[in-house]
Every structure is written in C-alpha cells, then in structure tokens.
Chain A
C-alpha cells in the first residue's frame, strides 16, 4: 500500500453528502461515444465509487475487488459506477487492462464537477476523494463513506448498506 499521501494535510476538507440527501443528477461519459445519466438508473440501487485515479495501485486493487464482488452487487440489482477525473480514453485502457466489467465514468469536463456536487473533490490535488455512495431506487443517498485516500475501503460497507435497503422500493422515497 502506498503511504505517500498519509501525512499530506488536506487543505480543503471535503464534506461528502450524507444519508438522506437526494443524489445530485449527472450525465457523464463512460466511453468516448457513450454517456450514462444517473436518472436513467432510477428504480434500482446505484453504487458510486469515486476514486482518485486510474492506474494507481490502491485504486487498482479496489476496482479489482469490486470486479470480483460484482455478482453480489447484482443480487441487489445494484449498478456499480466507478468515477474519477480521468478521461474516457484513459478509462477505456484501464478497464481493458484490468478486465473490469462495470462502467468507469469520466468526471473530466468540467473537471471534477460531479465530485464537487457530491462534496468529494480535493481542490489542492485536483482529484476526487476515495468515496462511496449507495443510492436507492428513488434517487436518495442511503449511505456514504470517505476513506483515507490511500486506503482501499473494501466492499463490506457497501454490502451492509445494500442489505439495509428496504426489500422493495416503495412510495416512501418520494
């Protein structure tokens, strides 16, 4: 695990959106010619995994782990979206190299715009926090977590959040 950012003070402490907040909508490229809108995923849970950068070792481990856990996320009909400020061509190469089976969204232009809306952009460094959000079928954040940037947060928190979602999406999310 890299330790190079451990002692670096975060001069712009982020305040990630918390449970109960409506998830801000966005449309981001997941490939040079394809975009995904959060709204289009209404009716099913969504996991947003913000990570600082393609290719850095911890991120790789985190995304490789989620790749393996994907069948569990699917049991909850949850859609996993990775998000970083890397561009769509970079994401394409990274996805191919790691054999990742879920979309990586490019929060590239305006840079970090979506991360800022979710309160997880690190101004000094120009990357996103390593942050997780679980959003229910009604578009509401039910769980969020910001990990120390060099620590892979694992998947246990996400699974617990998915288990805690109501069995069926009902009218109470409106």
Chain B
C-alpha cells in the first residue's frame, strides 16, 4: 500500500521553493498547481483571501504540476513563471498568469514579462531554450511521488489535504493545523 495512506510531501519545503509568508509561520500550505487549470484559477482567489486573513501565520509554497496533455499552455506558463523568478518576479508572474488564464500563448507571456519590467529578450530566450523545463519536471515528479492526484492538490504541514478547498473548509483546516502547532499569536477571524 506504499504511499496511498495519508500521502505526505516527499520533498520538504526548502531553499529551492517559491515561498510567501514568514519562515516561522505555524502552518505551511503547499499547492501543486497548473496555471491553465480553471480549478487552480478559482483556488488562486481563495488562497489570496486566506493569506490576508492569516497574515504571518501562514507560509504558502507554490510548486508546478502542469497537466500538459490536457492544457496546451500549462508547461510554457510554468516555465514562464520560473523565467520571471530568476529575475526576481516569480510571484508577480504567478499572479498575472492566474489572472489571465485565457491568454497564455507565447505572445502574451512575453507581454506579461514586458509589463513586469523584465529583461524580455532573456525571458523569451530562456523559454525557447527550455532553460526551466528540468525545474518544472522536478516539481511535477515530487508531486507524483507525494500522491498529488489532480490539480490543485494541497498539503498542509506536509500532509495531503483531501477536503474541499472552498474558502470555509480550507480556512478551517489551516486554523486547526495552526492550533495543533500551538499557535496562540492570534485568534483568526472568520472567512465569511
């Protein structure tokens, strides 16, 4: 039954990861996501709201899980976020991609890079050369081995979260995890 009971992250959060929030946060939420997946697009809004509610108590990590056979632009979009990342704008690109899920073709990706003030020539060259393909694949495989079974898949403090990711249940699960970790810093508000 290896791996199928309470799946856990096999690749711990580390320096290779894209992280938002405090390293001392009591809860770490890891998302395996696909920029062209409409469910991930819906989850993006929910995560933003929860980040506002939990502030320093939540650390958020994004890893790539592009379903390339289902979403033709997902791989390029994932690599685009990494190309922006090496120029210090991973999260800005992450947000732009999710806010423009209908236009993820190469022309628009270059346009987003321009909007973010990136070195566009370098950005485009890295996409053409596949400079970040290995990194995206590494994320993907770490997800497969951790029991990711679709997008988005979330891990709360390294354990796969199989509940609904509507704002109320996800927020409740994160609050519970924070309490288990002995968080007394704040009493969180309601997501409603």
A100 CA / B67 CA spacing, docked (Å): 12
A157 CA / B6 CA spacing, docked (Å): 12
Do A72 and B1 touch (CB < 8 A)? no
Q: Mark out the residues of chain B between 1 and 31 whose CB falls within 8 Å of any chain A CB in the assembled complex.
A: 1-4, 7
Contacts of A69 in B (CB 8 A): 144
Size class of the B contact interface (CB-based, 8 Å): 10 to 19
Do B150 and A159 touch (CB < 8 A)? no
The secondary structure that dominates the B interface is loop
A93 on interface, CB distance cutoff 8 Å: no
Q: Mark out the residues of chain A between 100 and 155 whose CB falls within 8 Å of any chain B CB in the assembled complex.
A: 100-101, 143, 145, 147, 151-155
Contacts of B150 in A (CB 8 A): 61, 64-65, 152
Contacts of A65 in B (CB 8 A): 67, 144, 148-150
Q: Mark out the residues of chain A between 1 and 39 whose CB falls within 8 Å of any chain B CB in the assembled complex.
A: 1
Do A154 and B2 touch (CB < 8 A)? no
Do A154 and B148 touch (CB < 8 A)? yes
B145 on interface, CB distance cutoff 8 Å: yes
Do A159 and B145 touch (CB < 8 A)? yes
B147 on interface, CB distance cutoff 8 Å: yes
A33 CA / B146 CA spacing, docked (Å): 39
Do B69 and A62 touch (CB < 8 A)? no
A1 CA / B166 CA spacing, docked (Å): 12
Do B4 and A154 touch (CB < 8 A)? yes
B141 on interface, CB distance cutoff 8 Å: yes
Partner of A153, one of B141, B145, B149: B149
* Smallest CB separation, A54 vs chain B (Å): 15
A147 CA / B7 CA spacing, docked (Å): 13
A145 CA / B1 CA spacing, docked (Å): 6
Contacts of B3 in A (CB 8 A): 154, 156-157, 159-160
A74 on interface, CB distance cutoff 8 Å: no
A56 on interface, CB distance cutoff 8 Å: no
A160 CA / B144 CA spacing, docked (Å): 11
A64 CA / B67 CA spacing, docked (Å): 7
A98 on interface, CB distance cutoff 8 Å: yes
Partner of B144, one of A1, A67, A156: A156
Contacts of B149 in A (CB 8 A): 61-62, 65, 151-155
- A-B residue pairs, 10 tightest by C-beta: A156-B3, A154-B149, A152-B149, A61-B150, A160-B2, A154-B147, A157-B3, A156-B147, A157-B4, A67-B69
Q: A64-B70, A154-B3 are in contact. List 13 more A-B contacts (CB 8 A).
A: A61-B149, A62-B149, A64-B150, A65-B67, A65-B148, A67-B70, A151-B149, A151-B162, A154-B144, A156-B2, A156-B147, A157-B3, A159-B3
Q: List 9 A-B contacts (CB under 8 A).
A: A1-B162, A61-B149, A61-B150, A65-B149, A98-B70, A143-B2, A155-B144, A159-B145, A161-B2
* Interfacial residues, chain A to chain B (CB-CB below 8 A): 1, 61-62, 64-65, 67-69, 72, 98-101, 143, 145, 147, 151-157, 159-161
* Interfacial residues, chain B to chain A (CB-CB below 8 A): 1-4, 7, 67-70, 140-141, 144-150, 162
